[in-house]
Structures are given as C-alpha cells and as structure tokens.
C-alpha cells in the first residue's frame, strides 16, 4: 500500500509544566507489528495523542514526507493516520454497517452524503471478513461484545484505508482466544500498513511484536526485538524492581495468563509491593 514510514524524532509533550514525554524518538515501518510498552505513566498514550494531534507537542512526527505535528486532528486523519482508543469508541446507536460506512466516507464526494446508501462498499465487505464481523452487519454496535467492538474499531481503520494504525491497548479485557485472533489479525494487517500497538500485556507483546520500544517516565528506555528488550537489565528493573529472577518468570514463562492474571500471581504481586510504585500492579490498570 505504502512504503512511507512513520518517523518520530525528539517528541516533547508538556502538560502545564509536567513533562509527559521528554524527547522520544522511534520509527515504524510497514510490514512490522511495532510495540510501544512501558509502565503506567510512561507516556505511551501521550505519544499517540501527540502524533494524532490530540495533544500539543514539539519535535517531529513524519509520515513519509509529511509532517504531522501542528495539523488539526481531522487533517492528520486525512493523511492516513488512524487510531483506536483504550475504551472502544464506536457509534453505539448505529449498526455495524453504518459505523463502517461512515468510516469509509472520507473518500466520498459531499453530495454523496445526501443520498441513501444502496449497497455495501466492497472495502466494507473485505474488512468484515477480515475481522470476522460479517454476521453482525445489522447489529447495533452498542450491543457487541467488548472484543467485537475493538475489532469493529480496527475494521473502521481498514475501510478508512489508514496507512498508519495506532492501537491503544487493543486486547485489554479480551479473552485468550480473542487475543490470539487479534494478534493474528494485526500481523495480516501489518503486511501492507504501519501498525503501532500500545500495550500493557507482556504475553501478547511477546507473541506478536516484531520490534519493541520501551518507554519509562517519558523517555525511551530501550528498543529492539522482543528478545533484546527482555534481556535489557534496565527494562527488567523498571518492570519488576531489581528482582532479576522474577523478571524471567514474569516476562518469558507464564504462558496462558493475561496481564491481570500476571499481576495477581503471588510472586509478581510480592515484587510489585516491594519494588517501585510503577511495577506489576500498573500493568492491569488503564493509563490516563
């Protein structure tokens, strides 16, 4: 679809004196599932907010030749940057089809808006099959399950033809099967698009990440492949205090356990209590 990459350089975001993001740089390319991880308050969501125009930022975020920072939200979207939110935000009163139809509408002429929809856009049919929502076409989005809402959001990004998909905790609250399905979906989607995932769930990250950037207190702590990041002692320290042994247990073993399960397992909770405030307990909370 595109060869353009998302390149973020020296990103700064400040909220009335508090530095939420202080000089973060990373890049993301089509063909990889890029992860942005870090403890609560590390500035992951703020990075996405800055790239999408929701938070004022300095530095640079370029998609190909285009500078994104400083443009209004809807103009950034029109350049091909799409995002989801931590809490799925779909149009609850509208059906799945209507939701997708609105998402597909940005390429339409304004006069087409005044007409009634007569058929289903081919891109919508494709996105429905891709996300497994074909049977829910007429269902009001408000009564979809939590996981289905997240998929609907991804489907909306697909019909929107976003070149960049910025996903904020796409698997939060999903069952294990749903997580696997979402991860596989993201890998398929990433073949042609840039996919950047903000996640707390280490297990999900380990299974599906191509490259990872770890943020801590608004700065890049480490980046590389999953194995490289896991081996980095600074990452181990941030995530689990100084208990290096527990790191291995938390980050590489524990197969079928979600973030919530991870935090509630006794060994990790103990470390969380003993270590810095931003440890395992943070992994189950949603970031503001």
Interface with other proteins (CB under 8 A)? 52, 72-74, 77-78, 82-83, 89-95, 97-99, 101-103, 105-106, 108, 112-117, 119-122, 124-125, 128, 134, 137-140, 156, 160
Closest distance between other proteins and the C-beta of residue 254, in Å? 35
Is 13:43 a contact under the CB 8 Å cutoff?
Answer: yes
Complex with other proteins: residue 59 or 105, whichever CB lies closer? 105
CA distances from 106 to 75, 101, 157 (A): 11, 10, 11
Complex with other proteins: residue 78 or 188, whichever CB lies closer? 78
What is the spatial distance between Cα 146 and Cα 171, in angstroms, rounded to a whole number?
A: 10
Q: Please work out, in degrees rounded to the nearest 5, the angle formed at the alpha carbon of residue 163 by the alpha carbons of 159 and 164.
A: 105
User: Which helix (DSSP H) or strand (DSSP E) does residue 215 occupy?
Assistant: strand 211-216
Closest distance between other proteins and the C-beta of residue 169, in Å? 16
Closest distance between other proteins and the C-beta of residue 4, in Å? 17
Is 48:26 a contact under the CB 8 Å cutoff?
Answer: no
Complex with other proteins: residue 119 or 256, whichever CB lies closer? 119
Complex with other proteins: residue 114 or 253, whichever CB lies closer? 114
Closest distance between other proteins and the C-beta of residue 105, in Å? 6
User: Which helix (DSSP H) or strand (DSSP E) does residue 37 occupy?
Assistant: strand 33-37
Closest distance between other proteins and the C-beta of residue 218, in Å? 24
* Distant-in-sequence, close-in-space partners of 208: CB < 8 Å, separation ≥ 6: 33, 35, 183, 186, 187, 197
Complex with other proteins: residue 138 or 253, whichever CB lies closer? 138
Closest distance between other proteins and the C-beta of residue 114, in Å? 5
Complex with other proteins: residue 93 or 184, whichever CB lies closer? 93
Supply 98's token pair. Answer: 């209507």
């Amino acid at each position: 679809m595109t060869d353009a990459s998302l390149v973020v350089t020296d990103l700064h975001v400040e909220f009335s004196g508090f530095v939420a993001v202080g000089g973060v740089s990373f890049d993301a390319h089509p063909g990889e599932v890029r992860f942005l991880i870090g403890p609560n308050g590390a500035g992951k969501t703020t990075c996405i907010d800055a790239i999408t125009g929701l938070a004022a930022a300095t530095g640079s975020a370029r998609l190909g030749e285009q500078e994104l920072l400083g443009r209004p939200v809807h103009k950034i979207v029109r350049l091909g940057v799409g995002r989801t939110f931590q809490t799925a935000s779909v149009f609850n009163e509208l059906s799945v089809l209507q939701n997708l139809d609105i998402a597909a509408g940005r390429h339409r002429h304004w006069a087409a808006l005044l007409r009634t929809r007569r058929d289903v856009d081919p891109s919508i049919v494709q996105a429905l099959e891709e996300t497994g929502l074909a049977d829910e076409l007429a269902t009001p989005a408000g009564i979809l399950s939590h996981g289905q809402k997240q998929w609907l959001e991804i489907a909306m990004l697909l019909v929107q033809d976003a070149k960049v998909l910025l996903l904020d905790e796409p698997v939060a609250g999903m069952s294990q099967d749903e997580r696997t399905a979402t991860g596989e979906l993201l890998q398929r989607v990433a073949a042609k698009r840039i996919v950047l995932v903000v996640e707390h769930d280490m297990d999900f990250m380990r299974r599906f990440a191509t490259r990872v950037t770890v943020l801590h207190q608004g700065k890049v702590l480490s980046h590389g492949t999953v194995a490289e990041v896991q081996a980095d002692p600074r990452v181990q320290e941030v995530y689990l205090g100084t208990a290096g042994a527990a790191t291995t247990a938390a980050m590489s073993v524990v197969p079928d356990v979600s973030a919530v399960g991870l935090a509630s397992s006794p060994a990790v909770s103990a470390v969380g209590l003993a270590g810095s405030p931003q440890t395992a307990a943070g992994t189950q909370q949603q970031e503001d």
